[in-house]
């Protein structure tokens, strides 16, 4: 046969089934465009240099991998739907005399046409919207726009095109195997297959209940952010498995229970909907479960990333009460010499004066920070600890003497805490600065440190040392009687940790009079301080310089990248959800048309038929939305712990963003349902 013959048949088939092929082409083009934007952003060095961001390339690369996986899954899903609708046509070709190898050539030509159109449209979409994406990134970063209208790279275009053409070729290979395996009669009747009433698979049902219960249990019982980080993906996998199992078998179980309820089932409004769903739930369930999972992804990604970006200023303010923190020490052989407060103050004041910045106050703190594992009422070093441990047990302790407490306490009036602690050598004052596991007001009666037991004489509501150590592990503040007690704790951890032991920190915390002037000085002031330190103390110098403006810049970089990634991935999940709903409506329409025509012929009024259709559609298509909302509610505790790792502790902000995201998504979902329902009604009637 001539090659033009296959092209003519293939193009005619695509035109005749444009209702099926157009959404498929549009979907792949949209996915490829998003994929192109992701990989181009990850490779565009202009953006990285303009923004100084260390996160953009890595996060966009990760996003490209996620979109690639979602694209493969969605292309295979759409492919399975199209093949079910087209197998009868291919079977008819076989009956009329075409051999299967000829049918596969027709299929190959159809796949080639749709693939090329999709890829070309996707690359065009990606190139057109890349500029808008780069401008959005710059706006989120509060940076100047990058010059240039577009960014084109032959390798980037080739990578995107080859990957998606490869996905299409894989789908074609699956279809070819299916055609070669089936007989002509099976292909002709395949569209109507799968209408046998499904049985309840008890093993799948029990596995679904256990998986979903285990995923929910992890989300609800996780105690610390580090535990949440380790267990989050396990919980996600369990919830996905449970969702698919319960949609496949759990819905069948519920529908059969409804069928056994004679008062409910033998009603002309309920019986057609329940029986129709029951006979086709096996094939519907996978699509509905996919919608539920994708909808959950949209809710989680958008709500968390919007919360992070909206709360960036509050996050920095909470973790940086002062604008600049500086500590330094020198190593001379085996000896460590702390740079004195006077020397650090002098360097900072001189650098500030030269950069035109006025200092309001300086907080001097000599402290010791040691990391422990908590067991009961004991802070244990590695020498004292035996057996396995949990991330929930990690604790950082900040030690100061009573004299330091009195000095810092005298600078500000705290009405709830004692002014004079009057500690003896075996007594301490205790404060939970940051708690990821315990109640902030909870304190032990006694506390064992370095093998010595101390009585907790005072529970402090506020610790007078500014803490910017994040929200990952518990941070406690401990006031000891004097330098002798503190030195004993220092030597104990020195013996336990060796070269990894903590050293005393002589830290100053600086507050500037004019925050805007401080931001303007910014990097110049930092460089000036560092240069003065190196000149004043040549040799092996170790220093830590943390500034509020640098933290704000880094946090904004990270949160902005998260937000852009969340928006783009959320868009992909939403687009995928819409596509699955659309194809599900078409599938439902073709399968219901003959049944509802029979109902009208046996006496049901058109109004009753429409009511039956409405009840069935509402039950089918709003179940995933309800499931997604329930998943999001149960995921809230573990998401809150994960957000603490990213330094967001504003719970009310996260709740507000989640509720707004849910409301907006529900409105969009309802609109999509109403629009696709019109297509369903047209097919049925």
User: CA 48, CA 468: separation in Å to the nearest integer?
Assistant: 27
User: CA 623, CA 281: separation in Å to the nearest integer?
Assistant: 13
Q: Reply yes or no on whether the pLDDT at 152 is more than 90.
A: no
Q: What is the pLDDT of residue 457?
A: 87
pLDDT > 90: what percent of the chain?
5
Strands 452-459 and 427-434: parallel
- Residue 231 sits at the vertex; the CA angle it makes with 225 and 235, to the nearest 5 degrees, is 125
Local confidence band at 148 (pLDDT 50, 70, 90 cut-offs): very low
pLDDT > 70: what percent of the chain?
76
pTM of the entire predicted model? 0.72
Q: Which residue has the higher pLDDT, 680 or 209?
A: 209
Q: What is the pLDDT of residue 238?
A: 92
Q: Which residue has the higher pLDDT, 496 or 3?
A: 496
The mean pLDDT value for 24-31 works out to 83
The whole-chain average pLDDT of the chain stands at 78
Q: What is the pLDDT of residue 194?
A: 47
For the stretch 653-656, contacts whose Cβ atoms lie closer than 8 Å and that sit 24 or more positions apart, written own/partner, are: 653/307, 653/310, 653/311, 653/314, 654/303, 654/304, 654/307
With b for 16 or more beta-carbon neighbours within 10 A and e for fewer, the 278-296 pattern comes to bbbbbbbbebbbbbbbbbb
Strands 394-401 and 335-338: unpaired
Q: What is the pLDDT of residue 413?
A: 45
**665 Cβ neighbours under 8 A, 6+ residues apart:** 295, 298, 299, 302, 574
User: CA 573, CA 585: separation in Å to the nearest integer?
Assistant: 18
Q: Reply yes or no on whether the pLDDT at 147 is more than 60.
A: no
- Short-list 14, 5, 2, 4, CA closest to 113: 14
Local confidence band at 120 (pLDDT 50, 70, 90 cut-offs): very high
Q: What is the pLDDT of residue 373?
A: 84
Lowest-confidence segment of 393-402, 526-535, 610-619 by average pLDDT: 610-619
- Tracing tokens 């809710």 back to the chain, one arrives at 299
Q: What is the pLDDT of residue 56?
A: 66
Tokens of 91: 């079977």
Lowest-confidence segment of 96-110, 464-478, 617-631 by average pLDDT: 464-478
Local confidence band at 387 (pLDDT 50, 70, 90 cut-offs): low
Tokens of 587: 């599938």
Tokens of 126: 């990606």
Lowest-confidence segment of 146-155, 231-240, 340-349, 529-538 by average pLDDT: 146-155
Lowest-confidence segment of 90-99, 156-165, 225-234, 536-545 by average pLDDT: 90-99
- Short-list 673, 635, 623, 661, CA closest to 228: 635
- Short-list 673, 680, 678, CA closest to 591: 680
Q: What is the pLDDT of residue 634?
A: 92
- Short-list 384, 317, 330, 243, CA closest to 533: 330
Q: What is the pLDDT of residue 333?
A: 66
Q: Where are the beta strands (DSSP E) in 446-494?
A: 446-449, 452-459, 474-480
């Amino acid at each position: 046969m001539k090659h033009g013959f296959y092209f003519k048949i293939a193009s005619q088939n695509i035109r005749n089934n444009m209702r099926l092929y157009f959404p498929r082409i549009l979907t792949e083009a949209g996915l490829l465009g998003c994929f192109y934007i992701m990989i181009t952003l990850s490779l565009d060095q202009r953006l990285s240099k303009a923004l100084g961001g260390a996160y953009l390339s890595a996060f966009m690369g990760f996003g490209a991998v996620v979109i690639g996986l979602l694209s493969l899954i969605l292309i295979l899903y759409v492919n399975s739907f199209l093949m079910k609708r087209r197998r009868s046509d291919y079977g008819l070709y076989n009956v009329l005399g075409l051999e299967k190898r000829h049918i596969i050539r027709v299929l190959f030509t159809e796949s080639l046409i749709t693939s090329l159109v999709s890829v070309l449209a996707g690359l065009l979409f990606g190139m057109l919207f890349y500029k808008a994406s780069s401008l959005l990134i710059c706006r989120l970063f509060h940076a100047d726009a990058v010059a240039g209208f577009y960014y084109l790279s032959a390798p980037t275009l080739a990578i995107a095109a080859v990957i998606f053409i490869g996905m299409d070729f894989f789908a074609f290979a699956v279809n070819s195997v299916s055609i070669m395996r089936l007989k002509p009669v099976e292909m002709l009747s395949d569209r109507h297959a799968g209408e046998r009433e499904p049985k309840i698979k008890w093993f799948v049902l029990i596995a679904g209940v256990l998986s979903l219960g285990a995923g929910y249990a992890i989300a609800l019982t996780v105690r610390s952010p580090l535990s949440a980080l380790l267990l989050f993906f396990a919980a996600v996998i369990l919830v996905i498995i449970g969702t698919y199992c319960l949609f496949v078998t759990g819905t069948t179980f519920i529908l059969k229970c409804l069928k056994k309820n004679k008062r409910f089932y033998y009603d002309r409004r309920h019986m057609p909907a329940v029986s129709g769903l029951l006979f086709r739930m096996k094939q519907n369930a996978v699509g509905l479960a996919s919608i539920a999972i994708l909808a959950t992804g949209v809710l989680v990604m958008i709500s968390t990333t919007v919360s992070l970006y909206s709360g960036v200023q509050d996050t920095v303010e909470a973790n940086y009460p002062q604008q600049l923190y500086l500590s330094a020490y020198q190593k001379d052989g085996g000896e460590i010499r702390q740079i004195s407060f006077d020397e650090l103050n002098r360097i900072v004041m001189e650098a500030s004066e030269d950069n035109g910045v006025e200092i309001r106050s300086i907080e001097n703190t000599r402290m010791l920070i040691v990391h422990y594992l908590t067991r009961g009422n004991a802070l244990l070093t590695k020498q004292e600890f035996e057996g396995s441990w949990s991330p929930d047990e990690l604790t950082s302790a900040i030690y100061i003497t009573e004299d330091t407490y009195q000095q810092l306490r005298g600078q500000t009036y705290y009405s709830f805490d004692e002014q004079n602690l009057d500690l003896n050598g075996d007594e301490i004052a205790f404060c939970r600065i940051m708690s990821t596991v315990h109640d902030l007001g909870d304190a032990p009666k006694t506390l064992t440190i370095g093998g010595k037991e101390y009585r907790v004489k005072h529970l402090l509501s506020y610790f007078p040392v500014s803490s910017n150590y994040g929200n990952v592990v518990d941070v406690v503040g401990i006031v000891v009687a004097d330098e002798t007690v503190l030195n004993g704790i220092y030597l104990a951890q020195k013996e336990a940790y060796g070269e990894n032991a903590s050293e005393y920190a002589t830290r100053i915390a600086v507050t500037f009079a004019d925050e805007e002037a401080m931001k303007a000085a910014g990097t110049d002031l930092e460089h000036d301080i560092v240069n003065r330190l190196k000149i004043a103390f040549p040799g092996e110098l170790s220093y830590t310089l943390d500034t509020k403006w640098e933290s704000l810049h880094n946090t904004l970089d990270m949160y902005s990248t998260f937000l852009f990634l969340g928006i783009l991935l959320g868009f992909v999940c939403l687009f995928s959800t819409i596509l699955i709903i659309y194809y599900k409506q078409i599938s439902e329409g073709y399968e219901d048309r003959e049944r509802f025509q029979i109902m009208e012929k046996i006496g049901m009024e058109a109004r009753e038929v429409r009511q039956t259709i409405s009840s069935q559609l509402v039950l089918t298509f709003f179940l995933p939305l309800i499931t997604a909302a329930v998943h999001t509610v149960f995921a809230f505790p573990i998401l809150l712990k994960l957000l603490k790792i990213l330094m967001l502790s504003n719970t009310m902000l996260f709740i507000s963003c989640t509720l707004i995201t849910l409301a907006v998504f529900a409105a969009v979902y309802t609109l999509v349902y109403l629009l696709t329902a019109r297509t369903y009604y047209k097919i049925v009637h």
